[in-house]
């Protein structure tokens, strides 16, 4: 169902006298004229006032016109609209299609368009030429913005996703919290959660918790062109530019079997339901509250959603979101029985020279003997499991934030050497540890020899000619 509401542009005109002249001195937007300076009815009224003996100055004051305009009107035997002669050619003609496409992207800034034309398209005209060309484009855009459309979707059909940024205090520190919001298009029920960043891991984790919150997902999810969703555009065989999804996000959508939909470029208002939800959260949840940290922020947010946001009378539907949700929950696609994408996703990493692997901006240790080897990383709950050739070699708790470090003492090569000095090789080292974790052998067999023995072997040729050269 599509509902359309149109806001008239009459109220935007200044003053009552301007409104009286609607349809008399304003002809609307014509491509080849700048508007009728004197309308037909007003021309007749001026002629009649002059015939009754009124002076030019009196007529000008009465009709709020310039005296030159009145004189020009009185010289005309018949009414005719004013029109500006159009030049046969313009220096902008070769750039016209580019200008029409580029203007809305820079918010109809004639200055920016002029700079880009000069720098990128060898434009030799003046700034005034560009300004006059942009003016009707801006006017048309303003008139188009007066028409507002709201698209209603059926239960379970669509949800909209967006981020909002809120600056709050955690103790004495001012912190920017990035709030993920998913709003169901039919019921307007929303899920919100705060993060310190807007990284791909945060986005996907928030999706999965939103699915769990609603007990299912919608068929379509609508996004703007955030970098964690869209990497860019490519030109297909038909010459059309199409968006390229972030590979991890595309795999996530396939895993949960929903269809991502994107707003048209520079038309973020298409997802107005979730944007309204973000504004409502900022205005209703944050004011007057204090927070100890991010966990406290999210705990209070959960309570606010259940006690306030879900229970309010929505301004568009005129129903409580939680009541309207009762008609939607039964048609959501269930997600409870499906494994988490984040926990099922296997990531490969190459162990660095410092026997650390990088995961989501943090670093975790593995046994030093795996330097240069490829390992597989899987998340299980709050832990990272690191395997090499199918064998578990390390396990670490997931670190919050970035640039953090988690090192297990038994992975340190220095610890292995210290153990080697204390023990001898035994049967247990050969069979491997019972818990399956790879560790340096508890003992190493080292035979201590007199160094003179190596000189004797060298003289005897035991190491070959290459050894003599090295010696």
Instruction: Tell me the per-residue pLDDT of 372-403, one tens digit each, with 9 for 90 and over.
Output: 999 999 888 788 999 999 899 999 998 887 78
Closest by alpha carbon to 80, among 18, 36, 136?
A: 36
Reduce the secondary structure of 393-447 to three states and give it as a string. EEEEECCCCCCCEECCHHHCHHHHHHHHHHCCCCHHHHHCCCCCCCCCCCCCCCC
CB-based burial, 366-399: b 16+ in 10 Å, e otherwise:
bbbbbeeeebebbbeeeebbbbbeeeebbebebb
Q: Give the separation between CA 414 and CA 144, rounded to whole angstroms.
A: 71
In the chain, % of residues over pLDDT 70: 75
Per-position DSSP letters for 51-95, written without gaps between them:
HTT--HHHHHHHHT--HHHHHHHHH-SS-----PPPPS--TTGGG
Structural domain contains residue 213: yes
At which of 331, 356, 378 does a domain end? Answer: 331
Residue 141 has a pLDDT of 77
Residue 268 has a pLDDT of 52
Residues 105, 266 contacting (CB under 8 angstroms): yes
CB neighbours of residue 305 within 10 Å:
21
Residues 187, 325 contacting (CB under 8 angstroms): yes
Closest by alpha carbon to 204, among 408, 341, 336, 60?
A: 341
Structural domain contains residue 341: no
Same domain (yes/no): 239, 313: yes
User: Model's pTM, two decimal places?
Assistant: 0.53
Residues 27, 40 contacting (CB under 8 angstroms): no
Q: What value does the mean pLDDT take over residues 121-147?
A: 81
pLDDT digits (tens, 9 = 90+) for 168-194: 999 889 999 999 999 999 999 999 999
Same domain (yes/no): 389, 431: yes
Same domain (yes/no): 172, 316: yes
Q: Is the pLDDT of residue 462 over 80?
A: no
Structural domain contains residue 114: yes
At which of 24, 45, 75 does a domain end? Answer: 75
Angle between helix axes 110-120 and 127-145 (nearest 10 degrees) is: 130
Same domain (yes/no): 172, 317: yes
Structural domain contains residue 269: yes
Q: Is the pLDDT of residue 436 over 70?
A: no
Q: Is the pLDDT of residue 450 over 60?
A: no
Lowest-pLDDT range of 150-164, 335-349, 413-427, 448-462: 448-462
Q: Give the separation between CA 135 and CA 345, rounded to whole angstroms.
A: 52
Same domain (yes/no): 45, 108: no
Which has more confidence, 29 or 159?
159
Structural domain contains residue 84: no
Q: How confident is the model at residue 302 (pLDDT cuts 50, 70, 90)?
A: very high
Give me the domain span that covers residue 209: 158-331
Q: Is the pLDDT of residue 424 over 60?
A: no
Structural domain contains residue 458: yes
Close Cβ partners of 259 (under 8 Å, ≥ 6 residues apart): 219, 220, 221, 253
- H or E stretch at 226: none
pLDDT digits (tens, 9 = 90+) for 199-211: 998 999 999 999 9
Same domain (yes/no): 404, 435: yes
Same domain (yes/no): 312, 398: no
DSSP state letter for 388? E
Q: Average pLDDT over the chain, rounded to whole? A: 79
Q: Is the pLDDT of residue 8 over 70?
A: no
Does residue 319 sit in helix, strand or coil?
coil
Closest by alpha carbon to 162, among 313, 65, 272?
A: 272
Same domain (yes/no): 98, 198: no
Domain tally for the chain?
Answer: 4
Lowest-pLDDT range of 63-77, 92-106, 232-246, 358-372: 232-246
Q: What value does the mean pLDDT take over residues 417-424?
A: 58
CA 269 from chain centre, in angstroms, equals 13
Residue 415 has a pLDDT of 65
Residue 62 has a pLDDT of 85
Same domain (yes/no): 177, 252: yes
Which has more confidence, 441 or 299?
299
Q: Is the pLDDT of residue 34 over 50?
A: no
Token pair belonging to 343: 């926990």
Residues 333, 356 contacting (CB under 8 angstroms): no
Q: What value does the mean pLDDT take over residues 245-269?
A: 84
Q: Is the pLDDT of residue 225 over 80?
A: yes
At which of 120, 149, 178 does a domain end? Answer: 149
Same domain (yes/no): 163, 145: no
Lowest-pLDDT range of 155-164, 312-321, 339-348: 339-348
Structural domain contains residue 168: yes
Token pair belonging to 210: 């939103």
Closest by alpha carbon to 413, among 366, 364, 446, 351?
A: 366
Same domain (yes/no): 40, 185: no
Structural domain contains residue 86: no
Same domain (yes/no): 319, 170: yes
Residue 466 has a pLDDT of 41
Q: What is the CATH number of the domain that holds 314?
A: 3.30.420.10
């Amino acid at each position: 169902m599509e509902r359309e509401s149109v806001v008239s542009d009459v109220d935007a005109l200044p003053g009552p006298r301007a409104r009286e002249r609607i349809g008399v001195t304003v002809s609307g937007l014509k491509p080849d004229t700048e508007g009728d300076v004197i309308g037909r009815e007003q021309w007749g009224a001026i002629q009649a006032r002059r015939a009754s003996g009124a002076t030019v100055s009196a007529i000008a004051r009465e009709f709020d016109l310039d005296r030159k305009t009145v004189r020009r009107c009185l010289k005309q035997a018949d009414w005719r609209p004013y029109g500006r002669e159009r030049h046969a050619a313009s220096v902008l003609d070769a750039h016209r299609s580019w200008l029409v496409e580029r203007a809305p992207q820079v918010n109809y800034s004639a200055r920016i368009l002029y700079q880009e034309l000069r720098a990128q398209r060898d434009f030799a005209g003046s700034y005034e030429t560009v300004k006059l060309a942009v003016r009707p484009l801006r006017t048309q855009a303003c008139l188009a913005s007066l028409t507002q459309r709201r698209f209603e979707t059926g239960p379970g059909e669509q949800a909209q996703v967006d981020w909002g940024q809120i600056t709050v205090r955690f103790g004495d520190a001012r912190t920017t919290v990035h709030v993920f919001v998913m709003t169901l298009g039919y019921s307007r029920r929303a899920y919100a959660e705060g993060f310190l960043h807007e990284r791909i891991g945060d986005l996907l984790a928030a999706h999965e918790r939103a699915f769990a919150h609603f007990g299912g997902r919608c068929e379509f999810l609508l996004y703007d062109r955030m970098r964690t969703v869209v990497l860019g555009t490519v030109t297909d065989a038909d010459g059309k530019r199409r968006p390229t999804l972030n590979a991890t996000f595309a795999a996530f959508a396939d895993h949960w079997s929903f269809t991502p939909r994107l707003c048209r470029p520079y038309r973020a208002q298409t997802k107005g339901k979730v944007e309204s939800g973000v504004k409502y959260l900022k205005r209703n949840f944050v004011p007057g509250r204090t927070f100890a940290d991010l966990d406290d922020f999210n705990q209070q947010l959960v309570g606010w959603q259940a006690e306030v946001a879900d229970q309010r009378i929505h301004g568009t539907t005129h129903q409580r979101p939680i009541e309207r949700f009762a008609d939607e929950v039964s048609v959501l696609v269930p997600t409870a029985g499906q494994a988490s994408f984040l926990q099922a996703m296997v990531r490969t990493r190459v162990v660095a020279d410092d026997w650390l692997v990088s995961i989501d901006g943090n670093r975790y240790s593995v046994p030093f003997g795996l330097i240069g080897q490829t390992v597989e990383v899987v998340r299980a709950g709050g832990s990272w499991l690191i395997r090499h050739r199918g064998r578990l070699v390390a396990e670490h708790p997931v670190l919050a934030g970035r640039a953090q470090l988690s090192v297990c003492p038994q992975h340190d090569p220095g610890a292995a050497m210290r153990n080697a000095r204390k023990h001898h090789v035994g049967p247990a080292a050969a069979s491997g540890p019972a818990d399956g974790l790879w560790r340096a052998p508890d003992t190493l067999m080292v035979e201590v020899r007199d160094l003179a023995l190596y000189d004797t072997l060298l003289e005897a040729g035991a190491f070959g000619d290459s050894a003599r050269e090295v010696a």
